[in-house]
Structure 1
Amino acid sequence: MSIAGKVVIVTGAARNMGYHTAAALARRGARVAIWGRNVDALDIAARSIGGDVLPLAVDITDAAAISTGMDRVADHFGGIDGIVNNAGVAYPNRIENLDIGQLEEQIRINLLAPILTCRSVIPHLRRRGGGRIVNVSSATVHRDGAFSFLSIYGATKAGMERFTDELRHEVQQDDIGVTTFIPGDTSTGFGQGWDEQVVGAAYADWLERGPYWNGMMQVEDVGEQIAHCFDLPGKAAFEFVLMRPVGREPKILEGG
């Protein structure tokens, strides 16, 4: 199908992977609603993307806020044809040292939020006669050694993947395609704000797992491929996409 003129929501879209996904969809002629937490950052992103973009600050861990956000998108554009559940958060730490607040935040954003947004968007997609849902996971679930001490991040993404499997089965009769998109290491600045001491210990542990890794992909390339999930014919969908860097490089990170 052509995504031109279709309405797609992208969560966590003020920057990084979500921003580049929204930009790639807009280049295809989609009308895009970008969701996030920071109003100013969303406005800047919307102006940068250009085209028919609606920035909305939505708490994706709150069912009522999500429902209101969905209604605002549908009212503004006349309906909803798809969603990309991209928002995610990670805090590395040893299991014995897990911070309860960080643990709960990862569960809320990485697992609860996509469950709630999918729950809310299904009736909107059904009214359009079908649509597409893309849930963004992580290669951490499938490949050991992406980084150390990401037990909760990996567990929440694994839970989202299992949820997505059941979702795919339940909505196939409504012509709703469901994709689990799994990016490997990507240059996003994802670790900004992490505790330096914890990161140092995680980095040391990661180095002990072997001297080489595959390197990083460019975030623009990953966003382009997430958007590509909407390029398929209406009766076809990618069920699982695992996108990983190709290469063999010494484990030396910037500043490492």
Structure 2
Amino acid sequence: MSHGLRDRVYIVTGASKGFGLAIARRLVEQGARVGIISRNQEAVDEAVAQIGIEYTHGAACDVGSSEQVREVFAKLKSHFGRLDGLVNNAGLATPNSVENLVESEVVAQVQTNFLGTVFCCQAAISLLRDGDNPRIVNISSASAWHDDEMSHLSIYASTKAAVERFSRDLRLELQHDQIGVTCVRPGGAMTNFSDGWDSDALAGALEAWRDAGAYLDMGMEPEDVADAVCFALAQRAGVAVDLLEVRPNRLISKSIF
């Protein structure tokens, strides 16, 4: 039997759009309150307004800065009076072939996707310790393991593989504090994740991706990932979902792209 999420408090990073926004919204629908974190204050304010100011509280934060993360997490716990869990969803990707990788883009992906996850976990542990059934959920990607995902995302996929390996050690360490750790690995879904990608780099990635096969798995919605996260968070104390992969189960011809 799972525990409900009503009256519990969670921090969701990267919560202004895509998976993060869907996760925050679904948590509120199930009775939880949510600390919404994103890099841009305007985007944070918009997400809070969409979901409801009475259930959420937002803060702009660069998860790649450990100092900012510690400060914001402490403020969110103080605002809500408790903290029951963290969903590390913040992430970014910049497509490019390995030969043409840009140093600043590589560093930004590592800083946000991997180090951001590490820094957020570090900040959350002391705030979650001794809580009632505390949880950490780290969001990975099917790109870390499956060859049929989008091409030219080598750095993004590598950072997500690192998140999974990091989560294994985190799970073992936090068993002593009875903090459950879950890694959720989503497949392809229709989101605005690719907004802002360089058009030439994206064209090259799409060309390589089409050459890898005629079909793709597609058709999943961000809400499907949100449901998986809520399932993991709602497990009873002493039980944790270790790794949960959620992928679409529908073949779509790549010719439509």
> TM-score band (shorter)?
over 0.9
Paired residues of 1:129 and 1:175 also in contact (CA < 8 A): no
Partner of 1:25: 27
1:214 maps to amino acid: D
Give the Cα–Cα distance (whole angstroms) in 1 for the partners of residues 246 and 5 of structure 2. Answer: 22
1:152 to 146, 155, 172: 155
Q: Which residue of 2 aligns with 1:176?
A: 179
* Alpha-carbon offset, residue 3 of structure 1: 1.4
Look up the equivalent residue of 1:39 and give its one-letter code.
Q
Question: Residue in 1 aligned with 2:46?
Answer: 44
Alignment of 1:245 onto 2:248: yes
Q: Which residue of 1 aligns with 2:66?
A: 63
Counterpart-to-counterpart distance in 2, 1:203 and 1:65: 36
Matching residue of 1:188: 191
Partner amino acid, structure 2, of 1:200: A
**Cα-to-partner distance string for 1:206-236 (whole Å, 9 max, x where unaligned):** 1111111122311122222222221211221
Q: After alignment, is 219-228 or 100-109 more displaced?
A: 219-228
Q: Which residue of 1 aligns with 2:9?
A: 7
User: More displaced, 122-131 or 186-195?
Assistant: 122-131
1:129 to partner: Cα distance: 4.8
Q: Return 5+ residue gaps in structure 1 as ranges.
A: none
Between the aligned partners of 2:177 and 2:14, the Cα distance in structure 1 is 26
Give, in whole Å, the separation in 2 of the partners of 1:142 and 1:87.
19
- Could you tell me whether the CA contact under 8 Å between 1:7 and 1:30 is conserved in 2? yes
Spell out structure 1 runs of 4+ moving beyond 4 A.
Answer: none
Corresponding residue for residue 79 of structure 2: 76
SS at match of 2:124: helix
Query: Shift of the alpha carbon at 1:68?
Result: 0.7
- Pick one of 235, 245, 250 that aligns with 1:232: 235
Q: Which amino acid aligns with 1:101?
A: S
Q: How far apart are the structure 1 equivalents of 2:4 and 2:14?
A: 24
Q: In 2, distance between residues paired with 1:46 and 1:103?
A: 31
- Specify the code of the residue in structure 2 equivalent to 1:163: F
1:206 aligns with 2:206: no
Residues 78-102 of structure 1 show CA distances to partners (whole Å, capped at 9, x for unaligned) of 1211000001000111111001111
Which letter does structure 2 place at the counterpart of 1:89?
A: L
User: Greater CA deviation, 196-205 or 173-182?
Assistant: 196-205
Q: Does residue 94 of the first structure (1) align with residue 89 of the second (2)? A: no
Specify the SS of the correspondent of 2:24. Answer: helix
Counterpart Cα distance in 1 of 2:196 and 2:57: 28
Q: Is the 8 A contact 2:40 2:61 kept in 1?
A: no
The correspondence of residues 108-119 of structure 1 with structure 2, limited to 5 A, is 108-119=111-122
Shift of 1:7: 1.1
* Identical amino acids, percent of aligned pairs: 37
Cα distance in 2, alignment partners of residues 37 and 11 from structure 1: 9
3-state SS in 2 of match to 1:110: helix
TM value normalised by structure 1 = 0.96
Number of aligned residue pairs: 254
Aligned partners of 2:72, 2:130: CA distance in 1, in Å? Answer: 17
Aligned-residue offset at 1:173:
1.4
User: What letter corresponds to residue 32 of structure 2 in structure 1?
Assistant: A
RMSD over aligned CA atoms reads 1.2
Range that drifts further, 191-200 or 236-245: 191-200
Distance in 1 between the 2:79 and 2:202 partners? 43
- Give 3-state SS (helix, strand or coil) of 2:152's partner: coil
